[in-house]
Amino acid sequence: MANKKGQVEVTINWVYVLVAGGIILLFFIGVIVKQKTASEEGLAIDVVRVMENIFVGAGVSEKTKNFIDTSGISEFTLYFDCLDGVGEYGLQGKSANVQNVIDPLFSSSTIHSPKLITWSVPYLLPFKVIDFLYVTAPNIKYYLYGQDDFIAELEKEGEEFGNIIVLDGQNSYMGIDPQGNDQIRVVDISGTLVKDGFAVPEKLLSLADEKVTALVLQGESALFFQKDAGRWHLLNTLPIPIVSLGGARDAAKLGAVFSTSPDTYQCNMGKAFLRLKNVAKVQLARAERLAEYYDLLNPAGFCTNLISHADKNAKDTLGEMIDLLESCTLVPEECDYQELIPLSQEVERINEELKVNCIALY
């Protein structure tokens, strides 16, 4: 009787130990799983925070090129987006992200690379408005076709990047090989290689559609293309104007090169125009102080005239610029930002004249 009791007791003890052990094991497995998810989210938060710091640093220091080692997060895909004036970037599939309404960041929609390249170029209209930040990677190859100063400059600037190649003709274009690169972007300033419905080079068919994009720059407008079923598909129905004064380091044009989506490009340009309004207001206030200064020195002088009284003077032109930007904020659909170009050229001309014997506007 006692033996039987003991046997039952021992069996119950073992069952108890197994059940309790199982529960404890499950508890720790649960904790580990929870911790893993939390640490991944934590990593994503850390990564976007570091990215934000890097981009702020890279964005404010003018004309700098930075190479950032991202091998630690090379398994993740970075995404960049901009919608309704709000830019967003982060790790794809993770909730952590950074939203930014201030800084224009031109990039491919996604980047999957162990290294990032950032390049900052000031946007001048004609005074400095903001720094444009371009983000790319060594495994995103840019094939340039055509001959002009912009292409020559981009080729020279891109030597350090190692991802910019100039095509010497139709044959080299048709022979473009992805060679293990993540994305291919063709920049055609001749408008002969890439047209809506034209065939995409054969070797590029192996890449996903969104990984093969093209830009056609014609005059002061841009057309964005993407591969679709083996052919080029035009993404923007109307040409997108490039609002810039041209010349070396054309920031707006470079933005179109590094952006793969026309919507993202326009969204980032919108950020620049928003900032332009603020900078122009300060510039106008400065012109007014300069006018007061010259009014005391020589009210009928050359400087006063150029700033305040001439037919096309600095104060009026800056005022027109601000009015245009104000109306663009109110009625964006009726806005033509290209009207900023003649006004900027006017401000530039006045500034050049002022520089000779007066205090410059900017």
Which residues form the interface with other proteins (CB under 8 A)? 49, 52-53, 56-57, 60-63, 100-102, 122, 124, 126-131, 247, 274-275, 278-279, 281-283, 285-286, 289-290, 293, 351, 355, 357-360, 362
**Least distance in angstroms from the C-beta of 247 to other proteins:** 8
**Given the complex with other proteins, which of 199 and 285 has the nearer CB atom?**
285
Please give the order of strands across the beta sheet that includes 115-124: 65-69, 115-124, 128-136, 105-107
**What count of other Cβ atoms lies within 10 Å of the Cβ of residue 97?**
17
Expressed in angstroms, the distance from the first to the final Cα of the chain is: 105
**Given the complex with other proteins, which of 45 and 310 has the nearer CB atom?**
45
Distance of CA 44 to the CA centre of its chain: 21
For every residue of 52-108, DSSP letters joined together read HHHHHHHHHSTT-EEEEE-GGGTTS-EEEEEETTEEEEEETT-S-EEEESSS-EEE-
Q: What is the C-alpha to C-alpha distance for residues 275 and 127, in angstroms, rounded to an integer?
A: 12
| CA angle, 202 then 208 then 212, to 5° | 65
**Least distance in angstroms from the C-beta of 283 to other proteins:** 8
Among left, alpha and beta (phi > 0; psi -120 to 50; other), residue 202 is alpha
**Given the complex with other proteins, which of 173 and 302 has the nearer CB atom?**
302
**Least distance in angstroms from the C-beta of 130 to other proteins:** 6
**Least distance in angstroms from the C-beta of 270 to other proteins:** 13
For every residue of 273-342, DSSP letters joined together read HHHHHHHHHHHHHHHHHHHHHHHHH-TTSHHHIIIIISTT-HHHHHHHHHHHHHHHHH-GGG--GGGHHH
**Given the complex with other proteins, which of 11 and 53 has the nearer CB atom?**
53
Question: Residue 56 corresponds to which amino acid?
Answer: V
**Given the complex with other proteins, which of 114 and 301 has the nearer CB atom?**
301
**Least distance in angstroms from the C-beta of 194 to other proteins:** 32
**Least distance in angstroms from the C-beta of 289 to other proteins:** 5
**Given the complex with other proteins, which of 45 and 207 has the nearer CB atom?**
45
Q: What are phi and psi of 227, to 5 degrees?
A: -65, 135
Q: What is the C-alpha to C-alpha distance for residues 255 and 245, in angstroms, rounded to an integer?
A: 14
**Least distance in angstroms from the C-beta of 344 to other proteins:** 11
**Least distance in angstroms from the C-beta of 33 to other proteins:** 18
**What count of other Cβ atoms lies within 10 Å of the Cβ of residue 322?**
18
**Given the complex with other proteins, which of 226 and 344 has the nearer CB atom?**
344
**Given the complex with other proteins, which of 124 and 257 has the nearer CB atom?**
124
Q: Say which residues have a Cβ less than 8 Å from residue 34's Cβ, sequence separation at least 6.
A: none
**Least distance in angstroms from the C-beta of 157 to other proteins:** 16
**Given the complex with other proteins, which of 124 and 200 has the nearer CB atom?**
124
**Given the complex with other proteins, which of 54 and 205 has the nearer CB atom?**
54
**Least distance in angstroms from the C-beta of 106 to other proteins:** 18
Identify the burial level of 41 via C-beta atoms within 10 angstroms of its C-beta, where 0-12 means exposed, 13-18 middle and 19 or more buried: middle
Distance of CA 173 to the CA centre of its chain: 26
- Adjacent-strand bridge partners of 239: none
